[in-house]
Amino acid sequence: MIGSLVATGRRRKLAAGSQRVLIVVAAVFAAWVIYANLFTISDPLILGILFVCGIYTIMFGAIGATPRAPDHIPLYDWALSALSLACGIFFFVNASAIADRISLLHAFTPAQLFFGTALLLLTLEATRRTTGLGLTGVVVLFLVYNLFGYLLPPPFGHGVDEFSYLLDILVFTTDGVFGVPIQVVASYVFLFVMFGTFLSKAGGGEFFFNIASLVTGRSRGGPAKIAVISSGLYGTMSGSPTSDVVATGSITIPVMKRLGYRARFAAAVEVAASTGGSAMPPIMGSAAFILAEYTGVAYQQVVFAALVPALLYYMGVFTQVHLRAVRLNLRPSDDEIPTAKETFRTGWVFLIPIAGIVAALVAGYSPTFTAGAGVVGAVVASMLTKATRLRPWQIVEGLGETTLRILPVAGACAAAGLVIGGLSMTGLGMKAANVILTISNGQPGVTLVIAAIVTIILGLGMPTPSAYILAAVLVGPALAKLGFPILQSHMFLLYYAVLSALTPPIAVAALAAAAIADEDPFKIAFSAVRLAVVGFLLPFAFVFNPGLLLLSDPLFNVIAVSGGVLATLAIAVSVEGSIGLPLGRVERLVLTLAAAAAVMPFTLVALGGILVILAFAGRYALLMRGGGPQKETSA
């Protein structure tokens, strides 16, 4: 049942010649995206039309209809690709007429009705192939509501909406398929993914893995710690929990199993670490770009606000892994650990484009320019050493692979545009907000709990961008009505959209890890939730305490970050129940309460919590010095 919800079409393995043709076509499309974003000022509607139709043309050739689709392209997929291309040509040729028409006033011509309906159906099929039945079912449900919701009683009913009305809003304006989500994907998301692709193709992934090995490989539980650090670093490039699990987990999980780590624990570490990559600046996955565009908050501000929570998340996972390694006496890696000289002999070149992106963000350049500069920087930097130098065909491959990697994101965001357009037609977003506030009786804490649960449910089996978008339009208005600041409340929703990737019962990241670890995905997911417990608590802390997002005055920020660090360590110790010496229930409760106090937005309360945690740490340091840690030896 769950497998059918998340099953997507099969990525085809075409014959060598056909695959090269596909790569070249995808590379040409990627080159056009660069040109359109950096060298022309395109009308948003035209950019959206060409991007969506171009993506669909490639998608139906690259991705089969089912998980068992053949490797060759069948006739019906050629027909869908041709129809996508025809839609693009029609909309482009008639773009000015479409832009000049007055929505809901001018009747459709037969050609507009045909191509508009075709594009709507193509979007549904593209969504099903790239994201599975989960998101597709949600989109269809909203479309049915838009068409037949007038039959429902108040407050959920709405006025009669004819199909032409629906088609007009969803396809012939920038409120639907060509709305904010696809506009973001067609611009800086595409370019940032391209940056990650070139960095990885030049060897950046191996460089990050070697850094993680160099830092933690020889310590107790080293392979698990390598997974945490390398997945976090790789996540800055990929922004996708599932792809992160596949890329780094294919190395770290077998190593951990070989050293005697239980498959469940090995996979859970990778899942928890990979999921956090979607919240790790500077890229943070496409959801962060959509957040910036949707809220009107500058992307630079989103990145800086997200930095401390992301570091606290990884500190929590790393600390729990360390405490578990100490308690179970897990061995370090028996593989040869690279030296600093070996790691940086060629890897230093990868620091150049990363530093360039950070500098551009600090200087206030637009995300599109920053991403474009990062792409150029990654290619140029790779040329500085023979080991990392990209050959001409590798550059073409990098361009083509970027397009192919963006297919699932584009399918999800086009579908999300349908949902947003439908919600604007019916006003369901505000109705849902009123229902949430009625259930919570307007209590901020209760409303946040409901918002977190709803966001996680919306994200089950869905890509993070889709989960965040749905939460933003359905839950965001409720938080706004209670007066929560827009950046804090949307960061709250983004975090739970990210965490939905490891939350049972679907947990798409755990499903990816299960295939590598040969373990039950449910067991992996529950273990990953325990390792990621800090991530589930962080949003409640920073939504009330702006200092954790560096949004307050300097002194308050320092107190908030200090409290956040100590609270993270305290929660990790409390969850693991050990700090070298085992902890009793009362001690774990005291630590948990002190952690909650340490992140309070009240200075005296926060200082009190900080002092309790420091006193606790000092007491156990003395006890361990006197009696020595007690260890378990079972793995």
pLDDT at 81: 97
Residue of 543, 548, 551, 509 lying closest to 526 (CA atoms): 509
Residue of 537, 588, 585, 604 lying closest to 564 (CA atoms): 537
Separation of alpha carbons 331 and 398, rounded Å: 38
pLDDT at 635: 43
Is 371 contained in some domain? no
**Omega within 30 of 0 (cis) for the link into 155:** yes
Residues 91-103 have pLDDT tens digits of 988 888 887 777 7
Cβ neighbours of residue 603 closer than 8 Å, sequence gap 6 or more: 556, 559
Would you state the structure tokens that stand for residue 96, as one six-digit string? 């000015």
pLDDT at 631: 46
pLDDT at 456: 93
DSSP per-residue codes, 456-481:
HHHHTTS-HHHHHHHHHHHTHHHHHH
Cα distances (angstroms) measured from residue 266 to each of 221, 250, 333, 570: 11, 11, 13, 23
Q: What percent of the chain has pLDDT over 90?
A: 43
As a dihedral over the C-alpha atoms of residue 210, residue 215, residue 217, residue 223, rounded to 10 degrees, the angle is: -80
Is 303 contained in some domain? no
| For residue 43, pLDDT beyond 80 | no
Is 569 contained in some domain? yes
Separation of alpha carbons 34 and 188, rounded Å: 10
As a dihedral over the C-alpha atoms of residue 91, residue 291, residue 496, residue 599, rounded to 10 degrees, the angle is: 180
pLDDT at 135: 82
Separation of alpha carbons 421 and 161, rounded Å: 13
Residues 47-87 have pLDDT tens digits of 888 999 999 999 999 999 888 888 899 999 999 999 999 99
Is 108 contained in some domain? yes
What is the sign of the dihedral through the CA atoms of 130, 404, 236 and 285?
negative
The answer to whether the CB of 411 falls within 8 A of the CB of 130 is yes
Q: Which neighbouring-strand residues pair with 578?
A: 582
pLDDT at 20: 95
Question: How many domains in the chain?
Answer: 2
Separation of alpha carbons 536 and 86, rounded Å: 46
Of 176, 211, 239, at which residue does a domain stop?
Answer: 176
pLDDT at 254: 87
Please count the other Cβ atoms lying within 10 Å of the Cβ belonging to residue 311: 18
The answer to whether the CB of 413 falls within 8 A of the CB of 466 is yes
| For residue 593, pLDDT beyond 60 | yes
Separation of alpha carbons 53 and 198, rounded Å: 25
Residues 539-551 have pLDDT tens digits of 999 999 999 999 9
Of 126, 151, 176, at which residue does a domain stop?
Answer: 176
pLDDT at 632: 46
Is 595 contained in some domain? yes
Mean pLDDT value of segment 310-323? 94
Average pLDDT in the chain = 87
Separation of alpha carbons 144 and 374, rounded Å: 43
| For residue 260, pLDDT beyond 80 | no
Separation of alpha carbons 488 and 546, rounded Å: 7
Q: Name the amino acid, one letter, at 306.
A: A
| For residue 628, pLDDT beyond 60 | no
Of 124, 147, 176, at which residue does a domain stop?
Answer: 176
Residues 343-371 have pLDDT tens digits of 888 889 999 988 888 888 888 888 888 88
From the CA atom positions of the chain, what is the Rg in Å? 25
Q: Pick the range with the lowest mean pLDDT from 81-90, 340-349, 522-531, 568-577.
A: 340-349
Cβ neighbours of residue 285 closer than 8 Å, sequence gap 6 or more: 238, 239, 240, 277, 278, 279, 464, 465, 498
The enclosing H or E element of 409 equals helix 392-426
Mean pLDDT value of segment 512-516? 88
Q: Pick the range with the lowest mean pLDDT from 189-198, 327-336, 368-377, 610-619.
A: 327-336
Is 521 contained in some domain? no
Q: Name the amino acid, one letter, at 480.
A: A
| For residue 629, pLDDT beyond 80 | no
Is 559 contained in some domain? yes
Is 67 contained in some domain? yes
* Residue ranges making up the domain that contains 157: 2-176
Cβ neighbours of residue 613 closer than 8 Å, sequence gap 6 or more: 566, 567, 569, 570, 591, 594, 595, 598
Which is higher by pLDDT, 193 or 283?
193
The gap from C-alpha 556 to its chain's centroid, in whole angstroms, comes to 29
pLDDT at 328: 81
Angle at the Cα of 146 from the Cα atoms of 433 and 489, rounded to 5 degrees: 25
Separation of alpha carbons 157 and 62, rounded Å: 41
pLDDT at 335: 64
| For residue 112, pLDDT beyond 60 | yes
